[in-house]
A and B are shown apart, each in its own frame.
Chain A
Amino acid sequence: MKGKILVFFGLLLASGMLFASEPHENEAQDEDFNVTDFVMNHIKDSHNWHILEYTDKTGKAHAVSIPLPVILIHEGKPVCFMSSKFHHGHAVVTKNGNHYFLHEGTIYVTDENGTIEESYDEEKEATVIVNEKPMDFSITKNVAGMFVTALIMLLVFISVARAYKKRPGRPAGLQGFMEPLILFVRDDIAKPNIGEKYERYLPYILTVFFFILINNLLGLVPFFPGGANITGNISVTLTLALFTMIATNISGSKAYWKHIFNAPGVPWWLKFPIPIMPVVEFIGILSKPFALMIRLFANITAGHIIVMSLVAVIFIFKAIGMSAISVPFVLFIDVLEILVAFIQAYIFTLLSCLFIGLAVQSDH
């Protein structure tokens, strides 16, 4: 195991991913500490994986971060380069005669000076950036974090599967730790909620449970390779909820569709000529995964915001003494978040099973 970890970090270093950026003037030195930026920088996705920041003797701030590949689709053509070329939003990248600039986490097409043009939008009653945005398929921090999670899951579960082959009897070690969890998902989440046909959905249910759980837990780790707020990102939870929606509607039985378009036991005038009930039921199809998406996103994001805000207290007061109050609170919230990590993985899986179970039922 130790050997594997060493090989992993060895590869990481050998690939030259770690680098220290050029020093830049620390503009924020004398400014007021911006809590919103501090929190949002952590909560939001990013084009490089920030590891640490330090100020050298000359008062220059250095940021150590892992550059991640930027993949843009602009004018139908893919554009690829490393995010380090942006120098943390200080440089314009020129590729194929186009100029790209990273502004507040979003890549815009700009002129060669990286000018961001803003204009006032009458409808939204706010200033909006009018620069063109290329389609961004970059391997962002969250994507890289997901790769880490996937790698961990593959390593863990394939080794567990091997352990079963080697030792079919009493489980031990990692196998002994994972087995109750796997059996919990199977026997207490999938089986009672889906019903007889639960085995078809087990691979999805198990994968989604552990994917959410490990992402939640990794999100709580403040340093690399954790720290990516994956399950607190709306795109990720949207995708997962979408999978549940697809699984639900693909497996919908005749009774399920009949219930949606022609609900039994409902007076006819609710269905014809204005199809009120079908519309309500149809909204239900969308609202179920929508609730899943929002619940996971909001719970994890809220937890991270609380932790980051409590840490920010130290910087707001600019007093190390505040940590005496802040750290115990953070510790408490972190422990709570571990609980939340399990609960949210459980709830997402449970509700997915419930929705699938309702769709699978042939008749009651």
Chain B
Amino acid sequence: MDLVSPGIGLIFWTSLVFIILMILLRVFAWKPILTMVNKRNDSIENALKQAEIAREDMKKLQTDHELMMEQAKQERDKIFAEAREMKEQLMQKAKDETDKMVTKMKADAKAEIEGQKQAAINELKQQVAEISIDIAEKILKSELEDKKKQEAMVNQLLKEVELN
């Protein structure tokens, strides 16, 4: 029976000890401990949030970077393509000009050659005529040296005329 009948003394002392303990711990332990824990939790949460923001920024930066890279690549390709086109145009133009020049030169040369040839032919003709006249003169001179031959000749010629 003693075991389950509470005594006033122990109740009094338990209350006293417990209340004093609770007040002391509340002031010197629970308050500072929980304040610090909360503060730390807040700071951790803050840090996590900041990290998340930084990560997002990083991601954005990366996307931007990739976009820029893509643009640069396109730009480069465009420049390359343009350069190639320009080169081809230039080459075509140069080729055309060269062709034209060659054709012209060829024509010029042909004309020149033709001219020279004509001139040569004309000269040759003249020379041939002169040589022919010389030969004819010489022949006539030699033919008409004696009288008989001259008479025969004249007769001959006359005959031809009469026949006509």
Using a CB–CB cutoff of 8 Å, the interface residues on chain A facing chain B are 40, 43-45, 71, 104-106, 135-140, 142-143, 146-147, 150, 153-154, 157-158, 160-161, 164-165, 168-169, 179, 182-183, 186, 202-204, 206-208, 211, 233-236, 238-240, 242-243, 297, 301
Is the Cβ of A168 less than 8 Å from the Cβ of B39? yes
The answer, among B21, B28, B33, for a CB contact under 8 Å with A211, is B21
**Assuming A153-B21, A234-B3, is B40 touching A161 (CB within 8 A)?**
no
**Assuming A137-B8, A234-B3, is B18 touching A207 (CB within 8 A)?**
yes
Chain B residues, CB < 8 A from A105: 2
Is the Cβ of A43 less than 8 Å from the Cβ of B3? yes
Is the Cβ of B37 less than 8 Å from the Cβ of A154? no
Is the Cβ of A143 less than 8 Å from the Cβ of B13? yes
Is the Cβ of A160 less than 8 Å from the Cβ of B29? yes
Chain A residues, CB < 8 A from B21: 150, 153-154, 207, 211
Given contacts A150-B17, A168-B36, A179-B37, could you give 20 more A-B pairs where the C-beta distance is less than 8 Å? A45-B10, A137-B8, A137-B9, A138-B9, A140-B10, A143-B13, A143-B14, A146-B17, A147-B17, A150-B21, A154-B21, A154-B24, A154-B25, A157-B29, A161-B36, A207-B18, A211-B18, A211-B21, A236-B10, A297-B4
Chain B residues, CB < 8 A from A71: 9
User: How near does chain B come to A128, taking the closest CB pair, in angstroms?
Assistant: 10
Chain A residues, CB < 8 A from B6: 234-235, 238
Is the Cβ of A164 less than 8 Å from the Cβ of B13? no
User: How near does chain A come to B2, taking the closest CB pair, in angstroms?
Assistant: 7
User: How near does chain B come to A123, taking the closest CB pair, in angstroms?
Assistant: 14
Using a CB–CB cutoff of 8 Å, the interface residues on chain B facing chain A are 2-15, 17-18, 20-22, 24-26, 28-34, 36-37, 39-40
Chain B residues, CB < 8 A from A236: 10, 14
Is the Cβ of B29 less than 8 Å from the Cβ of A161? yes
